[in-house]
Structure 1
């Protein structure tokens, strides 16, 4: 349990950190990409205004290429912009035929490549976009289509480098935090682990200490019965002593199961065991006017603690017979599912809520809120069943599709 708590703590911390880092780097990356697009589109807008060329001539200081006041510290309106920008343009007819190509401002693209880029953009029909690392704008110029391509490879490479660097930093950060959590989480859960171990030890010690006086009380009651004969008071003492002994044994067993001791696990015929256990409960179900049936796939076997699995079967069937409604129906199923075997017990009930389902495997929890001793039990049975399934690396679930039935299913890997 403590190991599971520690694992959940590390997992929750790592997922939270991953989410935070992803949001931070993702937001910065998106803003960076939008800035790249905005800069590229601003340059293309200048070229579009001048039919694919930068305007010639001197421009007054503080003005952009359109003669309007330029923002301060904006490199897009630098006098060096026409000399550091690489671009090319094409003119196409309405049917996509290339009329002219201008590659005078770029060395990396020849005429044939420029025509191929232009025709692919014209076929796609998008007015703006990217072809490889070339940002383009397509707009009508009279009866023709004019496409201007801007070489933005340097900026896109810088953006990709940022993404890879961010991913690397994120992974290194996650790895460093993971190592710290592995070291520190042990110290964080240590007080809980110590308290939990003390609690289990107390239950085990108290259980063993209670066994002796309970045995003596039961023996004394039998002696008194022999001396004075049977009476309701002695019978009540014996009955309550038996119930208290069962509770003590259940607590000790649950404590031992949670320690998950190394027991000898052998392969045994599971189908035969289930069939035999089912038959032993037939008479009990019949005396209570309840129907008990089973669908057991033959020749199934599993490797595990045979006595523990048999106890699991007894708990599930006893629970189903005990808490099913008057004249109810109980069904046991055993079948193979891919690389696992599933054991399930279904029974009808008067009513069961979703809240009950979420607490059925808690200690001392009973759906019968009155704690009526007439049904027996102390709310430990399903807790023990869950511990048995967990010790076999299986999974146990409780479900009720209609609120009038209950299905407990235990799945074991083969």
Structure 2
């Protein structure tokens, strides 16, 4: 349990850092991208308004007004752009490529025709791996002007920022993970100590309680020998048995959390389940419940035979206690459809289980019968918690589901065949 808590602490802390890093880096990249798009649109607008030129006096004045504090006359020469003017009849194209060297006039003519075929007046077009933003406008003289702007330089800062952010984020995550692993045990030390004290208290209290219970039991037996059995002595014996059973369950649960040394060996689950069924048949019959079971022979899994038998007993006892009156208990041992896992299913009639939160069934001391007044269902809410711990110790999983008036507990183990 301590290791699971430590792993959970590391996972949650790491997830929190990842969310923070993604938020910070994502915000920075988004802001940079917004500025880059804004700059691209501003330069395209200036180019379209001044016949594809930025170096003229009028273009400089317009740029100063439009860009404001971002205006720098020298920086206007960093942009790479070209333009094309299409005659009114569409037969001739006038090309200006004086501000770019990597795109030939023939390529510009082809790009112009491609843009003309598009319905959008703004967009992005790629040529030889470079993205060019374009804007198409219709002039007063009937001509169509198209300006193209190489936006790779504009978005370079955004790309560099994103790459740097990812690298720094990964480095930060690795360093944080290292520090977290080294310090996690210390961080949850109070929880570990509290858990250890709780286990010690349960164990010590259990042994201390057994002594007075033994005395009460002995006194009750002596009273019966002297004065005969009565309803009071019977009640005393029942309560002593009930408390002894509860103490044993609590001590078992504490020991399971410490992951005891299990004697894992190859077992036949069908054989072990049959033994438990044979011992429970009389109890189930006394409760007026029917028992139906189907056990597939020849399956193999790795488990401790004693603890596996205890697991089956817990599930059968739970099914018998919480089965509807005159209901049916189902037991099934089979392989899954892929043959990779052995499934142990124990179910019982449970008509009112449609809207029940089954995740709580594995919590310690949880009982769906919140009144605790049902004598027939005299459990303590510990059995299923013990069952879940047993399954985890066998490297398996335990789940619960309800369908058509029947609740099923399914334990899945890795098959050895």
- TM-score (norm: length of structure 1): 0.87
1:328 is matched with which residue?
327
Count of matched residue pairs: 407
Aligned residue for 1:74? 70
Structure 1 residues 370, 55: closer, same or farther in 2, change over 3 A? Answer: closer
1:39 is matched with 39
Q: 1:113 offset after TM fit, Å?
A: 3.3
Q: Structure 1 stretch 93-102 or stretch 235-244: which is displaced more?
A: 93-102
Q: Is the 8 A contact 1:351 1:405 kept in 2?
A: no
Alignment correspondent of 2:304: 305
C-alpha distance in 2, partners of 1:242/1:389? 27
1:96–1:122 contact (8 Å) kept in structure 2: no
| Rounded Cα–Cα distance in structure 2 between residues aligned with 1:220 and 1:139 | 106
Tell me the distance in 1 between the aligned counterparts of 2:298 and 2:86.
76
Segments of structure 2 that go 5 or more residues without pairing to the other structure are none
CA contact 1:128–1:136 (8 Å) conserved in 2 = yes
Q: How does 1:161-200 map to 2 (within 5 A)?
A: 161-200=160-199
Distance 1:139 1:305, change over 3 A: farther
CA deviation after TM superposition for structure 1 residue 162, in Å:
0.9
Q: Distance in 2 between matches of 1:59 and 1:315?
A: 86
In 1: Cα distance, 2:383 partner to 2:19 partner: 40
Q: Does 1:90 align with 2:84?
A: yes
Shift of 1:323: 1.2
Work out whether residues 98 and 119 of structure 1, in 8 Å CA contact, stay in contact via their aligned partners in 2: no
Question: Mean Cα displacement is larger for which, 3-12 or 82-91?
Answer: 82-91
Q: Which residue of 2 aligns with 1:53?
A: 53
- Residue 382 of structure 1 is matched in structure 2 by 384
Is residue 83–residue 96 contact of structure 2 (8 Å, CA) maintained in 1?
yes
Distance change >3 Å, CA 255–CA 52, structure 1 → 2: same
What residue in structure 2 maps to residue 340 of structure 1? 341
| TM superposition shift of 1:383 | 1.5
Post-superposition Cα deviations, 1:8-39, rounded to whole Å, max 9, x if no partner, equal 22222222222122112212211111111111
Aligned position for 1:351: 352
The separation in 1 between residues aligned to 2:315 and 2:91, in whole angstroms, is 79
Q: Is the 8 A contact 1:356 1:367 kept in 2?
A: no
Q: What is the CA distance between 1:373 and its match in structure 2? A: 3.7
> Helix, strand or coil for the counterpart of 1:375?
coil
1:138 and 2:136 are equivalent in the alignment: yes
Describe the SS at the equivalent of 2:412: strand
- Equivalent-residue separation in structure 2 for 1:156 and 1:95 (angstroms): 37
Residue aligned with 2:123, SS: strand
Contact 2:81 2:100 in 1 (8 A): yes
C-alpha displacement of 1:182: 2.6
CA shift digits 1:259-311 (9 cap, x unpaired): 11121211111123224433443443333332221243332221111211111
Query: How many angstroms apart in 2 are the aligned matches of 1:69 and 1:213?
Result: 94
Contact kept in structure 1, 2:40 and 2:154, CA below 8 Å: no
Change (3 A) 1:140 1:346: farther
**Matches of 2:165 and 2:25, distance apart in 1:** 7
Q: 1:167 deviation in Å?
A: 0.8
Partners of 1:95 and 1:243 in 2: CA distance: 101
Alpha carbons 2:21, 2:169 under 8 Å: kept: yes
Query: So what's the TM-score if we normalise by structure 2?
Result: 0.86
Match of 1:361 in 2: 362
Shift of 1:350: 5.0
Question: For residues 164 and 98 of structure 1, what CA distance do their matches in structure 2 show?
Answer: 44
